[in-house]
Amino acid sequence: MQSMSNRQVITHNIQSPVVTVPGSKYLANRYIALAAIATGTTQLRNLPQNDDIEAALDAITQLGASVTEISPGVVDIEGIKHYSLAQTAEINCRDSGTLSRFITAVASNLSTEVVIDASQQMRQRPMQEVSQSLRELGVEVGSDTLPIKLKGPIKGGYVELDTSRSSQYLSGLLIACLKAKADTRLRLKGKTVSSSYVQLTKNAISLFGGVVEGVSNTELKIPAEQSVSAASIDIASDVVSSSYFMAAGLLAETSVTLKAFDFNSPQGESKFYQVLQQMGADIERTDSQLTLRYQQPLKGIEVDMGDMPDVVPTLVVLAMFAQGQTYITNIAHLAFKESNRIVDLCDELNKLGANIEYDDDSIRVTGGQKLTLHKLSSCHDHRLAMSFALLGIKMPGIVVTDAQAVEKSFPRYWEFLETMGIQTEVVDAT
Q: The pTM is what?
A: 0.85
Q: Judge if 17 and 87 occupy the same domain.
A: no
Query: Among the options 310, 344, 381, 402, which is catalytic?
Result: 310
Q: Rounded to the nearest 5°, which phi and psi values hold at 277?
A: -65, -40
Q: Judge if 70 and 193 occupy the same domain.
A: yes
Q: Judge if 211 and 271 occupy the same domain.
A: no
Flag whether pLDDT at 249 surpasses 90: yes
Q: Judge if 153 and 198 occupy the same domain.
A: yes
pLDDT recorded at residue 301: 98
Answer whether residue 366 is part of any domain: yes
Q: Which domain holds residue 356?
A: 6-22+237-427
Answer whether residue 188 is part of any domain: yes
Answer whether residue 1 is part of any domain: no
Instruction: Give the pLDDT band (50/70/90) at residue 35.
Output: very high
Q: Could you give the maximum distance between any two Cα atoms of the chain, in Å?
A: 64
Q: How many CB atoms lie within 10 A of CB 66?
A: 14
pLDDT recorded at residue 407: 92
- Whether 359 sits among the annotated catalytic residues: the reply is no
Answer whether residue 312 is part of any domain: yes
Q: How many CB atoms lie within 10 A of CB 11?
A: 12
Q: Judge if 43 and 111 occupy the same domain.
A: yes
| Total length of the chain | 430
What are 178-216's pLDDT values in tens digits?
A: 999 999 999 999 888 778 889 999 999 999 999 999 988
What are 118-171's pLDDT values in tens digits?
A: 998 888 877 888 899 999 999 999 999 999 999 999 999 999 998 887 888 899
Residue 245: give its domain's CATH number: 3.65.10.10
Answer whether residue 278 is part of any domain: yes
Q: Judge if 191 and 242 occupy the same domain.
A: no
Instruction: Examine the fold and report which residue of 212, 234, 256 is the final residue of a domain before the chain moves on.
Output: 234
Q: Judge if 249 and 199 occupy the same domain.
A: no
How many distinct structural domains can be found in the chain? 2
Flag whether pLDDT at 336 surpasses 90: no
- What does the pLDDT average to over 335-358? 94
Q: Judge if 92 and 11 occupy the same domain.
A: no
Element (H, E) at 243: helix 239-251
Compute the mean pLDDT over every residue in the chain, rounded to the nearest whole number.
94
Instruction: Give the pLDDT band (50/70/90) at residue 429.
Output: low
Residues 6+ away with beta carbon under 8 Å from 291: 255, 256, 257, 258, 283, 284, 285
Share of the chain above pLDDT 90, in %: 82
Flag whether pLDDT at 2 surpasses 50: no
Q: Can you name the residues that pair with 401 across neighbouring β-strands?
A: 377
Instruction: Examine the fold and report which residue of 169, 203, 234 is the final residue of a domain before the chain moves on.
Output: 234
Answer whether residue 375 is part of any domain: yes
Instruction: Give the pLDDT band (50/70/90) at residue 430.
Output: low
Distance (Å, whole) CA 375 – CA 400: 6
Q: Judge if 218 and 230 occupy the same domain.
A: yes
Instruction: Examine the fold and report which residue of 187, 202, 234 is the final residue of a domain before the chain moves on.
Output: 234
- HEC letters along 103-157: HHHHHCCCCCCEEEECCCCHHHCCCHHHHHHHHHCCCEECCCCCCEEEECCCCCE
Answer whether residue 49 is part of any domain: yes
Q: Judge if 242 and 228 occupy the same domain.
A: no
Distance (Å, whole) CA 228 – CA 226: 6
Pairwise pLDDT comparison (428 vs 259), residue with the higher score: 259
Answer whether residue 300 is part of any domain: yes
pLDDT recorded at residue 113: 97
Flag whether pLDDT at 3 surpasses 60: no
Q: Judge if 361 and 376 occupy the same domain.
A: yes
Q: Judge if 220 and 81 occupy the same domain.
A: yes
